Amino acid sequence: MSPPSANQATSGIAADFVVDRVRRHESHRGAYFAFQMDRPESVRIFDPAERGRHVECTCEEFQSSQVICIHIYWLFDGLNAVLRTRRALGTQDISTGDVLAQISALYGLIGSRLSSLPTLLSATRDEISSDTDDATDAIGSPAFSDTRAEQVRDMLSVFDTAALPEDYDPGNASTTAGNEQQNLYVPNNLPATIFQIAVRDGKVFESLRTVITHDICANTHFSKLRTRAREAFARLDSYIENGPSDDAETADQDIPRCAKMLRIIVDQICQFRDSRASSGPLSAPVKRRVAEILVEILQEVCNRNEDIYYRIGWEREMADGEPDRNRNLYAYLIDDPPRSNSSTPDWMKETFVIDRLRQTPTDEWRHLIERLTSIVDQMRERMEDEDDPPLAYTKLERMIQEYTAEAFEPSSSSVQRRPTLGSHRQRQRRRFE
């Protein structure tokens, strides 16, 4: 690292910046997380699957020279501390490429910590690593639990009809502990005031937690994600019916964009379920509901196994070399998904929905066995080559076979007929026709 770059890195690591909020955005350049400072500057970390290793800052220095600025160095150091529980080893061990590569590599972890990152990044190293068990729970306490701030945001987001906890903004609510009770009042903003008080007052927090339980929060969160999935299908259907929209939010909601959104939603559902399970047990009905939503999404994709442009009533010029999968949602997600590469996130490489179901305990999806069997039949009926079935079909059929082999295994006291799948099922049908 050159002396000017080393000085820049040292200044950035030693800086005392504050992150007001972290948000995920979609743009024509791809998805990115924006880290908005308590000043005009904002650092953007783009999805490496779309942009490769790309990090940028809106500050004048970066925009004019494209040289890593102190804001990016500061964020690099902070994210290492928060997400990897360590700090940069020193400027002599940092190269420009290392900074960009390491920040990009953290993209997948950022989404699971959106609501808490502003607090953690704005803290000193001592505050991050210190034990907060000795902190008092009264209003005006100089220290408070970030986990509590995250839970309060989670609880209050229940009252927002669309925002997920990581997107929920109570408005002007500070996560910096205050020493005076009157500082907790946020004029003309009841949610922000409640947030301030509940984060700092243990009794108020416990009262909210008693009423707004973990299951209520989880159910509400999953309902919002289910709504987002249904909206994605609806936008695709509208695109098929009417063509591209003038509305920037819904314009060109074609197969690739719809498929990507559905993958994001499935990943969000499973990440949220796993994060809740690690912080406290979810009830059996909530876990079963997660499986129901995943199967519903899978079923809707299977129902769209057709060329969407075959009967459109509007003009569309086919792009040169357009893959057939770009015309069929089922093909894009299940039958013939795009090939991945080294920069593709793991959740984009998975067999859509089915890999997540296979990782789920049987008790959570056994009540959906008939729907899953119906989906396998539906896949088989539309299969062009039975000797070379899609990987998704093979995995799902095997999952059902493993379940039925265990559930219907003959015992010493009784013998039960074991359901059959695949060619055995077809022979059974022909036998009674």
Decide: helix, strand or coil at residue 320: coil
CB 92 within 8 A of CB 127: no
Residue 283 is encoded by which pair of tokens? 């009830």
Q: Which of 372, 379, 427, 374 is nearest to 400 (CA)?
A: 372
Long-range residue pairs from 39-46, CB within 8 A, at least 24 positions apart, any chain: 41/71, 43/71, 43/72, 43/75, 45/103, 45/104, 45/106, 45/107, 45/110, 46/104, 46/107
Decide: helix, strand or coil at residue 217: helix
Query: What single-letter amino acid sits at 106?
Result: L
Decide: helix, strand or coil at residue 92: helix
Q: What is the pLDDT of residue 349?
A: 77
* Cα distance between residue 238 and residue 251, in whole Å: 10
| φ/ψ (deg, to 5) at 20 | -75, -45
* Cα distance between residue 295 and residue 291, in whole Å: 6
Q: What is the pLDDT of residue 431?
A: 35
Q: Percent helix, strand, coil in the chain (nearest 5)?
A: 55, 5, 40
Q: What is the pLDDT of residue 141?
A: 34
Residue 228 is encoded by which pair of tokens? 């987002």
Q: Which of 7, 70, 133 is nearest to 78 (CA)?
A: 70
Q: What are the 10-residue block averages of pLDDT along the chain, 433 residues in total? A: 76 82 77 81 84 80 88 87 58 60 82 74 49 38 52 90 82 51 77 87 90 91 94 91 72 83 91 72 88 95 90 82 89 84 70 90 92 91 76 89 74 45 43 37
Q: What is the pLDDT of residue 158?
A: 93
pTM strictly above 0.75: no
* Cα distance between residue 120 and residue 81, in whole Å: 9
Sorted by sequence, the CB contacts under 8 Å of residue 225 that are 6+ apart come out as 164, 265, 268, 269, 272, 293
CB 55 within 8 A of CB 72: yes
CB 298 within 8 A of CB 352: yes
- By the 10 Å C-beta count (0-12 exposed, 13-18 middle, 19+ buried), 385 is classed as exposed
Q: What is the pLDDT of residue 329?
A: 93
